Chain A
Amino acid sequence: MAIPSYATRGERIWHYLFLGICGLVFLFLIGPLLVIIPLSFNSQPYFTFSKEMLTFDPAGYSLRWYHDFFTSSAWLNAIKNSFIIGIASTFLATVLGTVAALGLSSRYMPARGVIMALLISPMIVPLIISAAAMFFFFSKVNLAQTYVGVILAHTALGIPFVIITVTATLSSFDTTLIRAAHSLGANPTRTFFKVVLPLVTPGVVSGALFAFITSFDEVVVVLFIAGPEQRTMPIQMWSGIREQISPTILAVATLLVLLSMLLLTTLELLRRRSERLRGVTPE
């Protein structure tokens, strides 16, 4: 952002002040995350920077906690659980959410507002209430303390994100394309897979990403519903902090930050590619 040549002294001062404030906000947001990364290479079992670390003595650094993580069956099991539950619930939430968004955008849909509100509600209702309700309900139908139970619960939490992102994409979707496909002889199924789906993919993908992240760092519902077998990563971290204070958790956190950065970059690239294919931005 360049300062125009006609800016007054006050405007110039404000411009730099503004940049400074922005910097501070960023620092506030990512500072805590950045501190974790060097700390995870600590060779001492403490959560503070040792003298060696501060003087950049190689002896102060080690991969000890990463080693710890990759050899601990509890951690490995937790990360496996997180991925199983995350991927399964993302898949379900994406399919159901996309279908729901398509239905809700149809002009023949009655009671659209009410149904939309109902489907979005898991995002708005306090999590602890959903969790408690699911706990009682799932106990009754023998789903508590099972993978299926946790997956279904996370699916319900993920669906609103998919509905919102897909609905947003659909609002710019030209419905005459559907008519065009029909007039060219494509039945509704073919029209969906060849015309509608490719064009709403960006919304579906970002919805899926949100659903996955929701499941991946969800604690409350898992606490209520999961048994010891379904321990997920956030639960393991939580109990890790409470029970055995070990910097392994810092190594895990660093790996997770890395993973989410990777995920976000990949998806952003995918999204750009599909936007280019839709012809939204000229090549």
Chain B
Amino acid sequence: MLTLAQRDFYRGMCMNETLADAGEARAATSETPLSFARFVNVQKSYDGVELVVKDFNLDIRKGEFVTLLGPSGSGKTTCLMMMAGFETPTHGEILLKDEPISGLPPHKRGIGMVFQNYALFPHMTVAENLAFPLEVRHLSKAEIKEKVAKALAMVRLEEFGDRRPAQLSGGQQQRVALARALVFEPELVLMDEPLGALDKNLREEMQYEIKRIHARLGVTMIYVTHDQTEALTMSDRIAVFNDGIVQQLASPDELYERPENAFVAYFIGENNRLQGEVTERIGDNCKVRLDSGDTVVAKAVAVSGAGTRTTLSLRPERVSILRGDAAEQFENQFTATVQEVIYLGDHLRTRVSVCGNDDFILKTPNAQGYGGMRPGQQIQVGWSSADCRALDA
């Protein structure tokens, strides 16, 4: 399910212990009293019966890169369209620099937008496309020429000004779309799955390009995607959407390290799930009796007390294989049966049966002594209670 790049990314993340600290530092420095864009109790229904967006609240700081991440149909694009003015909220208010903007038509909001299908004007050349928002704003010919040249240079398409969009590749078209959304210097840029139509390599290249431009211009960006890698690589903060509500709003590392509910844990990265019932609460931890009968000590995140059903979430790289002379001691230690070993070069991905779960995944570095596992073999696995999060059922 995960691409190699994603694996690289997660491995990089879990090996970098300073990452969590970095996240805290970022949260502390970027705090400014004035919020730049705000959704307040926004609801949206298309048919008057079903709410596509149930109760959306989001405070976006100036210069921030916020991603709305979620599966299709979760309401994330609708939120973006409401900010752009193409949809009106059924209830609630959207504020831009503390001013409500419901009364403003899209063309007066001054928000740049990049669309999934690029939406370049096919009858205009690239330069004419870029000049369009400037002509609308009645800039002088010389100014337009200068700004267009600058924008083309920004996306490294200097020589393509006279081409028509149909003569460009997908990646080039997307860069033009990006340049067009930025050329009139909006303070806020919305992106609706802008990289969805590109192939994988190009997508990664564009992610860095967008990130670079964001860092350089300091423009505020709201980005919509269903691709978690994209969200994790690019964002300052991510709002994970499901069912029309925000499941968790946090920085990428926070989301990965400390998911607050089962959906987030499942949606972000890979995760092993164990179902059970809380039997006892001990401070921050709780004892959970699994459906298989085993008992696990886990960190109580979203459980109330004894008797509640829970889903335990455990990242594959946080599970250790214990050697015979195990120096490490874990609260949770079980015997597992190896089902399948996938060799991935720098690491091994092992599927085992443990605690009644046949799809339990372990990720172990391909270091000395870890190889040589065979299907059918019995091994000892263990994990600490801090890495095992008891979430909602």
Query: Does B associate with A?
Result: yes
| Nearest Cβ on chain A to B135's Cβ, whole angstroms | 9
Q: Which residues of A have CB within 8 Å of B65? A: none
Q: Is the interface of A mostly helix, strand, loop or mixed?
A: helix
| Nearest Cβ on chain B to A205's Cβ, whole angstroms | 14
- Is B167 engaged at the interface, CB distance under 8 Å to the other chain? yes
Q: Which residues of B have CB within 8 Å of A177? A: 119, 121
| Contact segment of B109-117, B199-207, B242-250, B321-329 | B109-117
| Nearest Cβ on chain B to A151's Cβ, whole angstroms | 32
Say yes or no: A186-B136 contact (C-beta < 8 A), given A179-B86, A279-B166. yes
Q: Mark B108-148, 1 if CB is under 8 A from A, else 0.
A: 11111101010111110000000011001100000000000
| Nearest Cβ on chain A to B340's Cβ, whole angstroms | 45
- Whether A279 contacts B165 by the Cβ 8 Å rule is yes
- Whether B136 contacts A184 by the Cβ 8 Å rule is yes
Of the candidates B85, B107, B164, the one whose C-beta lies within 8 Å of that of A187 is B107
- Whether A184 contacts B167 by the Cβ 8 Å rule is no
| Nearest Cβ on chain A to B104's Cβ, whole angstroms | 11
In angstroms, Cα B259 to Cα A238, docked, is: 85
- Is A267 engaged at the interface, CB distance under 8 Å to the other chain? no
- Whether B117 contacts A174 by the Cβ 8 Å rule is yes
- Whether A279 contacts B132 by the Cβ 8 Å rule is no
Q: Who on chain A is nearest to B168 by CB?
A: A279
In angstroms, Cα B31 to Cα A133, docked, is: 75
Scan residues 242-283 of chain A and give those whose CB is less than 8 A from a CB of chain B.
274, 277-280, 282-283
Taking each of A186, A188, A191, which has the highest tally of chain B beta carbons within 10 Å of its own beta carbon? Answer: A186
- Is B84 engaged at the interface, CB distance under 8 Å to the other chain? yes
| Nearest Cβ on chain B to A197's Cβ, whole angstroms | 10
- Whether B117 contacts A176 by the Cβ 8 Å rule is yes
- Is A182 engaged at the interface, CB distance under 8 Å to the other chain? yes
- Whether A182 contacts B107 by the Cβ 8 Å rule is yes
Scan residues 148-200 of chain A and give those whose CB is less than 8 A from a CB of chain B.
174, 176-177, 179-188, 190-191, 194-195, 198-199
Say yes or no: A182-B106 contact (C-beta < 8 A), given A279-B167, A283-B167. yes
Q: Mark A195-223, 1 if CB is under 8 A from B, else 0.
A: 10011000000000000000000000000
- Is B100 engaged at the interface, CB distance under 8 Å to the other chain? no
- Is B39 engaged at the interface, CB distance under 8 Å to the other chain? no
Q: Which residues of B have CB within 8 Å of A190? A: 136
Q: Who on chain B is nearest to A188 by CB?
A: B107
Scan residues 163-207 of chain B and give those whose CB is less than 8 A from a CB of chain A.
164-167, 180-181, 184, 190
| Nearest Cβ on chain A to B230's Cβ, whole angstroms | 21
Taking each of A174, A199, A277, which has the highest tally of chain B beta carbons within 10 Å of its own beta carbon? Answer: A174
Q: Who on chain B is nearest to A276 by CB?
A: B164
In angstroms, Cα B2 to Cα A131, docked, is: 70
Q: Who on chain B is nearest to A176 by CB?
A: B119
A–B Cβ pairs within 8 angstroms, 21 of them: A176-B115, A176-B117, A179-B106, A179-B119, A180-B120, A180-B121, A181-B107, A183-B106, A183-B107, A183-B109, A184-B107, A184-B112, A184-B136, A185-B108, A185-B136, A194-B132, A199-B122, A277-B123, A278-B122, A279-B164, A279-B165
Q: Across chains A and B, which 7 residue pairs bring their CB atoms closest together, nearest first?
A: A279-B166, A184-B133, A180-B119, A183-B113, A182-B106, A279-B122, A185-B136
Give me the interface of A with B, judged by CB distance under 8 Å: 174, 176-177, 179-188, 190-191, 194-195, 198-199, 274, 277-280, 282-283
